[in-house]
Amino acid sequence: MSRPLKHIQRAGHVTSGPYAPPSPTRELAATSADGSRLHIAVHGPEDAPAVVLAHGWTCSIAFWAPVVRALAGDHRVIAYDQRGHGRSPAAPPGGYSTEALADDLEAVLGAVLAPGERAVLAGHSMGGMTLMAASGRTAVRERTAAVLLCSTGSSRLLEDARVVPLRGERARTRAHRLILGSSAPLGPVTPLAKRILKYGTMGPGSAPDMVEACARIVHACPRSVRAAWAHVLDGIDLDVAVRQLAAPTAVVVGTADRLTPPVHARRLAAALPDCRGVTELPGLGHMAPVEAPDAVAGEIRGLVRDHLAVPGGVPGPLARPEDEPRTAPEHRRRTSPGSRPVEAAAEATATAEATAKAEATAKEETS
């Protein structure tokens, strides 16, 4: 078993409250195909059904804290830091790609799962793209019981984003490329920084403690890593890989997600070979595992119940046979108890101010 990466500084995160990372039962490291080391944290009983969590761009293991708390009582929850994030070291030059994402997932599964053991895999944003990128790999398929794709997409990320609300697609894409691909330092977590992050990544009713937790995580990501992965996401095209993701798959998206709007979830549902449903969370943004952890954990629980063998029990249903007719995936809308209502006027003001800030940043990048 690999030793944990104790020499790597911990990622920034809140240290108290429901969004603070719980202490893991054990930590270890996996080594990817190119030698990159990946920090892994394991929570919950060792003999419980396994769940593997892959976080998104600029985040870390800490992002999953409320979902881990909801599941770890009766699941073995395995979370890992994507390369360059959290306690996983930055990759060497040329070490950022969709192939690297797939390599890293394969290495993590090999390090934490026993021979023949399967897990439910859940990916948020770039973590969902990780699961898509690895969909054609036999070593990953054999270890996958089911999949949750949360707040993610397979292509056209900048074209379909709604962070900068410009009408023309070309202008909007260019603005997103300038802002999201910038390597400028984010600076300290100030009230203005939190307001901008909330506008771009979270629902308008997100509570202050949710915003604080996300801001600390995002601001802790090294700017060189942030820019390197942004370059990968800019041109990402996993449309073919989605059609190879044969495991039963559920999709979750917030209706107010500006980074990966619901159009992405609907495209995924249409392309997936075995989509078990799309859940749209009203009023939530891109950070659904923080904004509505119970809803996300509930989706994972359902996949474990339906598709993963319990220890000593009988396996749940596997992927739908190829000759069985495919039915349209179920679309559901859930109430989002994690969000709090806000006055329309206040929301409009915040949106206008954040938009003005984003456009000003875009102009500075071009000047």
Percent of the chain with pLDDT over 70: 82
Between CA 342 and CA 198 the distance in angstroms is 13
**Residue range 272-286: mean pLDDT, rounded:** 98
Q: Give the residue, 324 or 293, on which the prediction is more confident.
A: 293
In the sheet with 119-124, reading across from the earlier edge strand, the strands are 26-31, 37-43, 76-80, 50-54, 119-124, 144-150, 249-254, 275-281, 331-333
Is the pLDDT score of 344 beyond 60?
no
pLDDT of residue 366: 44
Query: CA 246, 247, 248, 253 torsion: positive or negative?
Result: negative
In whole angstroms, what is the distance from residue 255 CA to residue 333 CA?
9
Helix (H/G/I), strand (E/B), else coil: 155: strand
Q: What is the pLDDT of residue 332?
A: 72
Asked whether residue 282 carries a pLDDT value surpassing 50, the answer given is: yes
Q: What is the pLDDT of residue 337?
A: 42
Whether 256 shows a pLDDT value over 90: the answer reads yes
Mean pLDDT on 132-156: 98
Q: Which stretches of 235-335 are DSSP H helices?
A: 239-242, 262-271, 288-291, 293-307
Could you give the CA distance from residue 255 to residue 242 in angstroms, rounded to a whole number?
22
For residue 317, what pLDDT band results from cuts at 50, 70 and 90?
A: very low
Q: Assign 225 a pLDDT band (cuts: 50, 70, 90).
A: very high
Q: What is the pLDDT of residues 172-214, one digit of tens each?
A: 999 999 988 888 989 999 999 999 999 999 999 999 999 999 9
**Helices 169-180 and 344-366, packing angle to 10 deg:** 80
Average confidence (pLDDT) over 237-261: 98
Task: Judge whether 24 and 78 are in contact, CB under 8 Å.
Answer: no
At residue 345, the pLDDT reads 34
**Rounded to whole angstroms, how far apart are CA atoms 195 and 214?**
11
| pLDDT at 281 exceeding the cut of 70 | yes
More confident residue, 347 or 291: 291
Backbone angles phi, psi at 76, to 5 degrees: -90, 105
163 band by pLDDT with thresholds 50, 70 and 90: very high
* Alpha-carbon span 249 to 318, nearest angstrom: 11
* pLDDT at residue number 339: 39
Q: Is the pLDDT at 326 greater than 80, yes or no? A: no
Which of 166-170, 272-276, 310-314 is least confident? 310-314
Q: Which of 23, 75, 67, 115 is nearest to 308 (CA)?
A: 75
Residue 4's pLDDT band, with cuts at 50, 70 and 90, is: low
Question: What DSSP string describes 278-289?
Answer: EEEETT--S-HH
pLDDT computed for residue 5 by the predictor:
53
65 Cβ neighbours under 8 A, 6+ residues apart: 13, 18, 19, 20, 21, 22, 213
Backbone angles phi, psi at 226, to 5 degrees: -55, -45
Structure confidence at residue 358 (pLDDT): 45
CA of 366: how far to CAs of 179, 217, 359, 361, in Å? 10, 28, 11, 9
Phi, psi of 141 (to 5 degrees): -55, -45
Q: What's the rounded mean pLDDT across residues 47-69?
A: 98
Q: What is d(CA 30, CA 322) in angstroms, rounded to the nearest whole number? A: 34
